Amino acid sequence: MGKDKKFVEAITSMEDDFAQWYTDIVKKAELADYSSVKGFMVIRPYGYALWENIQKDLDARFKATGHENVYMPVLIPESLLQKEKEHVEGFAPEVAWVTHGGTEELTEKLCVRPTSETLFCEHYAKIIQSYNDLPKLYNQWCSVVRWEKTTRPFLRTSEFLWQEGHTAHATAEESEEETIKMLNIYAKHCEEILAIPVVKGQKTDKEKFAGAKATYTIESLMHDGKALQSGTSHNFGDNFSRAFGIQYSDKTGKLEYVHQTSWGMTTRLIGAVIMVHGDNSGLVLPPKIAPIQVVIIPIAAHKGGVIEKAEEIKEKLLNIARVKLDATDKTPGWKFNEYEMKGVPIRLEIGPKDIENNQAVLVRRDTREKITVSLDELTAKIPELLENIQASLLEKARNLRDEKTFSASDINEFKDIVENKPGFVKAMWCGNRECEDKIKETTGATSRCIPFEQEHIADTCVCCGQKAKHMVYWGKAY
Amino acid sequence: MGKDKKFVEAITSMEDDFAQWYTDIVKKAELADYSSVKGFMVIRPYGYALWENIQKDLDARFKATGHENVYMPVLIPESLLQKEKEHVEGFAPEVAWVTHGGTEELTEKLCVRPTSETLFCEHYAKIIQSYNDLPKLYNQWCSVVRWEKTTRPFLRTSEFLWQEGHTAHATAEESEEETIKMLNIYAKHCEEILAIPVVKGQKTDKEKFAGAKATYTIESLMHDGKALQSGTSHNFGDNFSRAFGIQYSDKTGKLEYVHQTSWGMTTRLIGAVIMVHGDNSGLVLPPKIAPIQVVIIPIAAHKGGVIEKAEEIKEKLLNIARVKLDATDKTPGWKFNEYEMKGVPIRLEIGPKDIENNQAVLVRRDTREKITVSLDELTAKIPELLENIQASLLEKARNLRDEKTFSASDINEFKDIVENKPGFVKAMWCGNRECEDKIKETTGATSRCIPFEQEHIADTCVCCGQKAKHMVYWGKAY
């Protein structure tokens, strides 16, 4: 019992210190570890398994919509990065520079890719000639480096894993359609797989991607009321194609510039899963991304027949769920804590009494509800319960998000919400950068997005009192 | 027809210029392209799809043997790289150095990982305490950078994609067992999936990995008689654990050093597939890695019912094979060339006469054999044919390899073989570095491996005439 106790005590409660609670989970659930280079993390097997499940779902969605994977170089020459003016201004201050290759000093320094627009553009300029070559729907899975001063595992690191989609189209309409299509795929992934509800909308000019005509985003809300940008999709129009000379001849033989998009999702999603679903016992994983969906824990395992029955159940469930039997000699109490910390959706307990009664006890990680099930019904009950947990996690997250979403019609109310009820603030905006800056200065909140689903909260801008153009989601953000 | 002709003429024949033939296939089959940084390539969708199929098979084999995927940082501090003496000597001359992060000069320079032993060791030193923590069976999929002077797509590039397995074990016996186990997995992958026969053996001390106690390798033979090292597996013993202080307490509480391994396979395998199976019409792909296994080409597609029938066949085959219907308005002749270039194992032709006779014509890419099949038998015939092609590619490659494998009992015979009959040379060796160096100097061939299956060719070393220790495979290599 001493060992069990120690394990539980080691977790900071989220009410006491949310940041420490987060860090504790990352460490104790063995998701990631620090490396010797500040801001660079080691993603451990359990954390990486989450990423693999995210990848598997996203990659299937990309392929189902006609996208193909490619791989571009990890290094970008300085001159190439500089070709699109806004883009280089956005990224140059945060890249890592390679100055020596082997024993020689390079004649031109190369940056470790912070994102790959310039590489895709260079390639597209070579391979796109005619309207027959369009659209190009490419994606790549890789890591990128952006030098960060303050870092936190998964949420903000100097290196992260992601996918970056880069597409080229004949017309502005097609690139806009693609941008929105991918944003919708991101939103579906978040809601259907991660059980995280999102607000879809457009970034303001201030917050949009360096070089984009329009940036769309999905924003989610964490347990502490802070927002997390969870995926972005950019329409570049012909900004990059003009800078890189990416032209195609249309059906009449006339040369036209292509219209481009890019879109990305990252390992930061793992941070979102922690902060949306986790509790003071650790991770709570949606079944669809859980590396282990059911953990079988034998009770009084030394008694005859218990381990055998546990093995038998495991075999039965192997084709139904990702299942693990923990037959180590640790105590059941220790194991309960361990798999609660790791957020395994269902714990299955099987002991001598259960065997006598031809039953097992199922315990839900999310609600801790105990359900006694006949062993004959197990293969029917488990998938049903997993679906139920998946759905109820989404519902719970949606309720929490809604409870933490407020409307403000004047700046004092706005300030009060930010100070006392952290969450999303819905408020009207005139569309001017000055007001956006002033709101940040006054309240600490940034614009998260101009949601596609507009609501009328007031006629006038919450800041300047002039005629309002948009309803905007604001909030403090990661 | 002019267009078809031009397409065919554009390929150099392998007999005329093997290197140019190789480069032509890489370009015309759209496997890879050059980037603006010398030695760094763009892997295009068709090339990347090959890599995805290789990954899928290898990853499943790794997981089935208990390995877990992780992700380590892309950058390694100079001081960390220097911890194991032989290792840093082997790699320091060929790494890319990052000296600036963001706007600041770094206090310690960081290299872009050329391989990740040092990172895994640093992590293992932190997470391994007791015998209960062993073994650790980790793998990562990533890219690595090694500055190369002369590069060729897939075969030798300054950046390549690979997997690197890194494991830690309690005993020397276990690490040796793991090293051999992974070599066998590599050999099986090559033979069963890539249809490439390999020679398994041990590297000489001269050729082993920087920091390893023993390096094992699988060597394959290309169409031009040159050898290709296709995968390596290293047993480090306690070399790295002593340098990094990776210790565990055994059951009696005594501190012991762990024993480690590492093993890797790379995108160079795609180069092997080209050079083992390709011919003067382009790629020839083993069905198991072919992104498209069957391409359906409608003949006289403008005639009523042809496209409809082609679509119907496609639907029928979708669950049986990776199938593509090319219904573009290019000529059938153009399409034949295109998919021959891309190495698609089976071409299915369907025209008005075929429809009349309720049949289709299948053409094998490897033998060009034409087979007329009743449409009712298609779903049975296609999988059978794919298996048949897979098996006959392996057999053909094995025969070619055997034809190009020679024995030499003295150095003149050895020289004559290397000059006139490029291939593997089997010859006895005394085990001394001097003779190994001299053989290279005299003949141009390097030792490929000391094969596990030893043969007795002579009693004495082919070079010095002293008592021989081993039979060695020698050859010129990529």
Task: Give the model confidence (pLDDT) of A178-196 as tens digits.
Answer: 999 999 999 999 999 999 9
Contacts of A143 in chain B (CB under 8 A): 71, 74, 142
* CB pair distance less than 8 Å for B97 and A99: yes
Contacts of B98 in chain A (CB under 8 A): 96-99, 112
Cβ atoms within 10 Å of B298's Cβ, excluding its own = 26
> pLDDT band for position B473 (50/70/90)?
very high
* CB pair distance less than 8 Å for A70 and B127: no
Cβ pair B293, B322 in contact under 8 A = yes
Domains assigned to chain B? 13-277 (3.30.930.10), 294-385 (3.40.50.800), 405-475 (3.30.110.30)
Pairing relationship of beta strands B424-429 and B405-407 according to DSSP bridges = parallel
* CB pair distance less than 8 Å for A119 and B35: yes
- Inter-axis angle of helices B45-64 and B268-277, to 10 degrees? 110
Per DSSP, which regions of A26-74 are E strands?
A: 32-34, 41-43, 68-69
Tens-place pLDDT, residues B405-449: 999 999 999 999 999 999 999 999 999 999 999 999 999 999 999
For residue A157, give the chain B residue with the closest CA. B73
Tens-place pLDDT, residues B242-263: 999 999 999 999 999 999 999 9
> pLDDT band for position B102 (50/70/90)?
confident
Quick one: B105 exposed, middle or buried, by C-beta within 10 A (0-12, 13-18, 19+)?
Answer: exposed
pTM to 2 decimal places? 0.96
- Inter-axis angle of helices A433-443 and A411-420, to 10 degrees? 40
> pLDDT band for position A2 (50/70/90)?
very low
* CB pair distance less than 8 Å for A74 and B101: no
Assess whether pLDDT exceeds 50 at residue B230: yes
For position A4, what pLDDT does the model report?
Answer: 43
Task: Name which of B43, B52, B74 to mutate to probe chain A: the one with the most chain A Cβ atoms within 10 A of its Cβ.
Answer: B74
Contacts of B158 in chain A (CB under 8 A): 101
In angstroms, the CA B252 to CA B338 distance is: 66
In angstroms, the CA A47 to CA A287 distance is: 15
For position A9, what pLDDT does the model report?
Answer: 53
Contacts of B100 in chain A (CB under 8 A): 96-97, 99
Q: Mind telling me how many Å the CA of A129 is from chain B's nearest CA?
A: 15
Q: What is the percent of chain A where pLDDT is above 70?
A: 98
Contacts of B145 in chain A (CB under 8 A): 74-75
Task: Name which of B37, B46, B109, B144 to mutate to probe chain A: the one with the most chain A Cβ atoms within 10 A of its Cβ.
Answer: B37
Tens-place pLDDT, residues A452-470: 999 999 999 999 999 999 9
Q: Mind telling me how many Å the CA of A119 is from chain B's nearest CA?
A: 8
The size of the A-B interface in CB pairs under 8 A is: 148
In angstroms, the CA B378 to CA B349 distance is: 12
For residue A93, give the chain B residue with the closest CA. B102
Assess whether pLDDT exceeds 60 at residue A6: no
Contacts of A123 in chain B (CB under 8 A): 33, 35, 42
Of B476, B468, B396, B469, the C-alpha closest to B442 is B476
For position B9, what pLDDT does the model report?
Answer: 52
What backbone phi and psi angles, to 5 degrees, belong to A66? Answer: 85, 10
Instruction: Supply the ipTM of this predicted assembly.
Output: 0.95
Helix (H, G, I), strand (E, B) or coil at A117: helix
For residue B141, give the chain A residue with the closest CA. A142
* CB pair distance less than 8 Å for B40 and A73: yes
* CB pair distance less than 8 Å for B68 and A75: no
Assess whether pLDDT exceeds 90 at residue A398: yes
For position A237, what pLDDT does the model report?
Answer: 97
* CB pair distance less than 8 Å for A96 and B110: yes
For position A105, what pLDDT does the model report?
Answer: 94
Tens-place pLDDT, residues B386-408: 999 999 999 999 999 999 999 99
For position B10, what pLDDT does the model report?
Answer: 74
* CB pair distance less than 8 Å for A48 and B35: no
Task: Name which of A56, A94, A98 to mutate to probe chain B: the one with the most chain B Cβ atoms within 10 A of its Cβ.
Answer: A98
* CB pair distance less than 8 Å for A142 and B143: yes
Pairing relationship of beta strands A259-266 and A214-221 according to DSSP bridges = unpaired
For position A457, what pLDDT does the model report?
Answer: 94
For residue A121, give the chain B residue with the closest CA. B35
- SS3 of chain B: the string is CHHHHHHHHCCCCCCCCHHHHHHHHHHHCCCEEECCCCCCEEECHHHHHHHHHHHHHHHHHHHHCCCEECECCCEEEHHHHCCCHHHHHHHHHHCEEEEEECCEEEEEEEEECCCCHHHHHHHHHHHCCEHHHCCEEEEEEEEEECCCCCCECCCECCEEEEEEEEEEECCHHHHHHHHHHHHHHHHHHHHHCCCCCCEEEECCHHHCCCCCCEEEEEEEECCCCCEEEEEEEEEEECHHHHHHCCEEECCCCCEEECEEEEEEEECHHHHHHHHHHCECCECCCCCCCCCCCEEEEECCCCCCCHHHHHHHHHHHHCCCCCEEECCCCCCHHHHHHHHHHCCCCEEEEECHHHHHCCEEEEEECCCCCEEEEEHHHHHHHHHHHHHHHHHHHHHHHHHHHHHCEEECCCHHHHHHHHHHCCCEEEEEECCCHHHHHHHHHHHCCEEEEEECCCCCCCCECCCCCCECCEEEEEECEC
For residue A69, give the chain B residue with the closest CA. B45
Range B52-59 average pLDDT: 98
For position B344, what pLDDT does the model report?
Answer: 98
H helix or E strand, kind and range, residue A75? strand A75-77
For position A92, what pLDDT does the model report?
Answer: 87
* CB pair distance less than 8 Å for A33 and B94: no
